[in-house]
């Protein structure tokens, strides 16, 4: 398969739909100055651990969970408004491919993105795809490990170049 090194665009159909809960949460978090956290939401164990870690980070002040779907596809939503106006945005990608970070940096100011590669924290499961192939308790434990690293880096104010360090031992 050819490697994609060039930029490309995708077309998104508009919608007249509105998510009432997304509007309420987006407006509330914007008004309260919360920092949005999204994850890549990938389908494999790496995406799942990133998703779980994002939930954990978002439980801590001043962070709150945001929705990548509304951010990427409904520019008029309160969620998108919140993420556009936030001082910082946290994105936890499941692996070094940084699927959501690569989209996000073209939508908002790259300098305010704190971008993480969850795999580089725990550095295993590279031969596993299915989420269920890792027991639930272990998934939660590894997600906690990732979340703690993300929170520590955020506390230290690490810049994006420092938080996107790839996984030394995994295949790229
Ligand atoms: S960053 Fe990795 S885990 Fe997440 S969607 Fe992309 S390939 Fe999947």
Q: Does residue 108 fall inside a structural domain?
A: yes
Q: Which residues pair with 114 in a beta bridge?
A: 90
Cβ burial, residue 169 (10 Å; 0-12/13-18/19+)? exposed
DSSP category for residue 93: E
Q: Which domain holds residue 39?
A: 32-161
pTM for the full model? 0.92
Q: Residue whose CA is closest, atom 8 of ligand 1?
A: 42
Q: Which of 1, 4, 98, 115 is nearest to 42 (CA)?
A: 98
> Ligand 1 pocket, 40 CB below 6 A?
yes
Q: Does residue 18 fall inside a structural domain?
A: no
Note the pLDDT tens digit of each residue in 1-33: 456 679 999 999 999 999 999 999 999 999 999
Ligand 1 pocket mutation, candidates 94, 102, 124, criterion most atoms within 8 A of CB: 94
pLDDT value of residue 168: 39
Note the pLDDT tens digit of each residue in 73-115: 999 999 999 999 999 999 999 999 999 999 999 999 999 999 9
Q: How far apart are CA 94 and CA 92, in angstroms?
A: 7
What is the 38 CA–ligand 1 centroid distance (Å)? 13
Q: Does residue 155 fall inside a structural domain?
A: yes
Q: Does residue 66 fall inside a structural domain?
A: yes
Number of domains present in the structure of the chain: 1
Let me know: does 84 contact 56? Beta carbons within 8 Å.
Answer: no
């Amino acid at each position: 398969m050819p490697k994609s090194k060039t930029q490309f665009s995708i077309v998104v159909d508009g919608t007249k739909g509105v998510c009432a809960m997304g509007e309420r949460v987006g407006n509330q978090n914007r008004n309260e100055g919360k920092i949005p956290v999204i994850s890549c939401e990938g389908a494999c164990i790496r995406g799942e651990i990133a998703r779980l870690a994002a939930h954990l980070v978002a439980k801590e002040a001043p962070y709150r969970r945001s929705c990548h779907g509304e951010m990427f596809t409904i520019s008029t939503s309160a969620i998108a408004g919140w993420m556009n106006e936030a001082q910082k945005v946290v994105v936890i990608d499941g692996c070094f491919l940084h699927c959501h970070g690569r989209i996000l940096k073209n939508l908002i100011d790259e300098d305010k993105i704190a971008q993480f590669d969850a795999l580089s924290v725990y550095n295993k499961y590279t031969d596993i795809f299915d989420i269920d192939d890792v027991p639930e308790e272990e998934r939660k434990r590894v997600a906690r490990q990732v979340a703690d690293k993300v929170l520590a880096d955020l506390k230290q104010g690490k810049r994006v170049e420092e938080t996107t360090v790839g996984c030394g031992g995994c295949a790229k």
